[in-house]
A and B are shown apart, each in its own frame.
Chain A
């Protein structure tokens, strides 16, 4: 599914969007032609980045041992490692380790987010008393948290998952709480007007609102969780994982710079791919759960 980058649709005071951003297309799906434009844009951006790279190298007069050419870095993806694997295969294998921890972390972050979000929004006393702790979790330097966690749990997926959860749960809490709190009074009164029991407000109004907001915030959650998983690999002792590979490669950078750049590129690309993939998956699941083809735009936190 495409990620929504359209300009926000015009909304009237009652929250009903009046204008169809893409007339004639059910659910406001983006036409295929736009997909191609986006793809072309991505290629253009990549080309521009490579040009900047080469320009910096030229202007600053950096030799190949300090900054290799872009094509040399690209070529190294297909070189053999000391163990005889192809570099890209080796890197993707390590990326997979990190991604697994991040995905489990995203799942945990969503669970924690839903739990705390519900409590925050539904229990008037609990919300304000929980908020300082939530803010604290945001203020904690995650980088500083990683080493003790790794010492405590040993290097491996447990520490990475916990780090990913810690990094990612906050936007999920806010999304769920906001969704529930911002259910318009008018919608609650509508349910009252036909004598619906109070618990129906939860299933008919609050849950869909929370789901909508969570699907909007999922990219932020996923990005932070991936970052958390990456940070967990940085303390010494960790061997598997793409961030550990980056770290190892920096140590013999002066001897051979390409591996570090290859690994760094894989981290970046892997993170972006993961965020978009998870976002599409969650939005698809949300649409399925709401039995809808039109998921209202929520606020990205």
Chain B
């Protein structure tokens, strides 16, 4: 357990996302949501953010995705401003809700990011189908959002976020609304996708076991105001299966993150 980032990781590999001195205030009367936040995420890392409700996890993610801009400080993605990265389509976001367009079929929902990008219709179709196959939904391509389950819808959302091959994927409690069994299965799939593609993933979650299972590092956040409380490095094996959750190492890591979280929850 280290309190700062492992120097080897941040110096040896390129930095994908960097927050330095970030302050975000929505309502001046309520004080800043994030205050003096510093964080570096290296290329190819899977970093989870855990913390109490209202600690600014989602805001942090939205800052990285340039859906909102910092009040102070800078957010760099690939060494450039987040806005540049967003316009260059380096970032894919999976939101809390699947956000599918009801009048478009599953396939055309996944094709959406490719439209007006110079890709021909055949090419769009091919890439979207390939992505749907990756999330195991090739058979549902012709269905409409109201005809599929919540878990399937979120998988479609993942396919849509990956279809333009962004190097960085931001996930904001993507499976929060799903039942635990579906959630575990999707977590495995996402972890698998990450291992295969080597993308950088920033993952917001409420669940400590989920964070531990998925990540290379877990960021525990302080709240009021939100800042980095502690960064927990995980030394679990890289290849993780459902069995990983039954190992003593896993329990140990979960306990460490839980203790850290309790220490940083502050007064409720």
Q: A14-B99, A16-B97, A294-B102 are in contact. Are A193 and B86 (CB under 8 A)?
A: yes
Q: Which residues of A contact B91 (CB under 8 A)?
A: 193
- In the complex, A293 Cα to B101 Cα: how many Å? 13
Of A196, A200, A208, the most chain B CB neighbours within 10 A belong to: A196
- In the complex, A68 Cα to B98 Cα: how many Å? 62
B9 within 8 Å of A by Cβ? no
- Count of A-B contacts with CB under 8 A? 87
- In the complex, A14 Cα to B142 Cα: how many Å? 21
**How would you classify the secondary structure of chain A's contact residues: helix, strand, loop or mixed?**
loop
Q: Which residues of A contact B103 (CB under 8 A)?
A: 208, 212, 290, 292, 294-296
Interface size class on chain B is 35 or more
> Quick check: A17 and B86 within 8 Å, CB to CB?
no
- In the complex, A208 Cα to B149 Cα: how many Å? 23
Other-chain residue from B87, B142, B153, B161 in contact with A195 (beta carbon distance below 8 A): B87
A291 within 8 Å of B by Cβ? yes
- In the complex, A294 Cα to B98 Cα: how many Å? 18
- Interface residue count on the A side (C-beta < 8 Å): 35
B213 within 8 Å of A by Cβ? no
A13 within 8 Å of B by Cβ? yes
Closest to A19 in B: B146
> Quick check: A194 and B95 within 8 Å, CB to CB?
no
- In the complex, A79 Cα to B150 Cα: how many Å? 62
Q: A193-B86, A193-B92 are in contact. Are A27 and B144 (CB under 8 A)?
A: yes
Q: Which residues of B contact A16 (CB under 8 A)?
A: 97-98, 100, 102, 145-146, 153
B49 within 8 Å of A by Cβ? no
A136 within 8 Å of B by Cβ? no
B164 within 8 Å of A by Cβ? yes
- In the complex, A190 Cα to B104 Cα: how many Å? 15
The B-contacting residues of A in range 245-301, CB under 8 angstroms, are 290-296
Other-chain residue from A20, A187, A295 in contact with B101 (beta carbon distance below 8 A): A187
A144 within 8 Å of B by Cβ? no
> Quick check: B99 and A194 within 8 Å, CB to CB?
no
The A-contacting residues of B in range 124-163, CB under 8 angstroms, are 142-147, 149-150, 153, 161
Q: Mark A163-205, 1 if CB is under 8 A from B, else 0.
A: 0000000000000000000001011011011111000100011
> Quick check: A294 and B89 within 8 Å, CB to CB?
no
A18 within 8 Å of B by Cβ? yes
Instruction: Give chain B nearest CB distance to A85 CB in angstroms.
Output: 48
B112 within 8 Å of A by Cβ? yes
Q: Mark A1-16, 1 if CB is under 8 A from B, else 0.
A: 0000000010011111
Q: Mark A24-63, 1 if CB is under 8 A from B, else 0.
A: 0011100000000000000000000000000000000000
List residues of chain B with CB under 8 Å of any chain A CB: 65-67, 86-89, 91-93, 95, 97-105, 108, 112-113, 115-116, 142-147, 149-150, 153, 161, 164, 166
Contacts A17-B146, A195-B86, A292-B144 supplied; 16 other A-B pairs, CB < 8 Å: A14-B97, A16-B97, A186-B95, A186-B97, A190-B95, A192-B67, A192-B86, A193-B67, A194-B89, A194-B161, A195-B87, A200-B116, A290-B104, A292-B103, A294-B102, A294-B146
The 21 listed contacts between A and B (C-beta, < 8 Å) are: A16-B100, A17-B102, A17-B145, A19-B146, A20-B146, A20-B147, A26-B143, A28-B146, A186-B99, A187-B101, A189-B95, A190-B99, A193-B67, A193-B161, A194-B89, A194-B164, A204-B115, A205-B101, A208-B103, A294-B144, A295-B103
